[in-house]
Amino acid sequence: MKSKAGKKRCSRAASRKWNLRLYIAGETSRSIAAVENLQALCRKYLPVDYNIEVIDLSKNPHLAAGDQILAVPTLVRRLPPPLKKIIGDLSNVERVLVGLDLCSEKTS
């Protein structure tokens, strides 16, 4: 028997600018999956006005310090505020939507 408290309510994002930065390490299977999962999620849930920047830390390791990246892949939502971080290959869509504030837990 499943609890009703775990239900989620998701919708498309309001039309505001979205700036997402995805930190990866080379062309590993996790990195490729993270890029593909993020692109699919953005097409489905975000307004047209979004920007995805993919930063490969195997080529530019010094860029990890700016957003204090400790693990890869890591997604950083820079806009809209507040700044949010999600670690992993972004395959758990519900977790990513909640992390980006695109989905909230229903409290009924």
List, for residues 27-76, the tens digit of each pLDDT value. 999 999 999 999 999 999 997 789 999 999 999 999 999 899 999 999 99
Residue carrying the six token digits 């869509």: 93
Please enumerate in sequence order all residues whose Cβ is within 8 A of that of 97, keeping only pairs 6 or more positions apart, or say none. 8, 10, 41, 45, 103
Residue 30 has which token pair? 């996790």
CB distance 12 to 45 below 8 Å: yes
Q: What is the pLDDT of residue 81?
A: 93
Arithmetic mean of pLDDT, 3-32: 77
User: What kind of fold does domain 16-103 have according to CATH?
Assistant: Glutaredoxin (3.40.30)
Distance CA 40, CA 34 (A): 10
Q: What is the pLDDT of residue 54?
A: 98
Give the model's pLDDT for residue 50: 93
Provide the pLDDT for residue 47: 78
* 9 vs 70: which has the higher pLDDT: 70
**Using omega within 30 degrees of 0 as the cis cutoff, is the peptide bond preceding 73 cis?**
yes
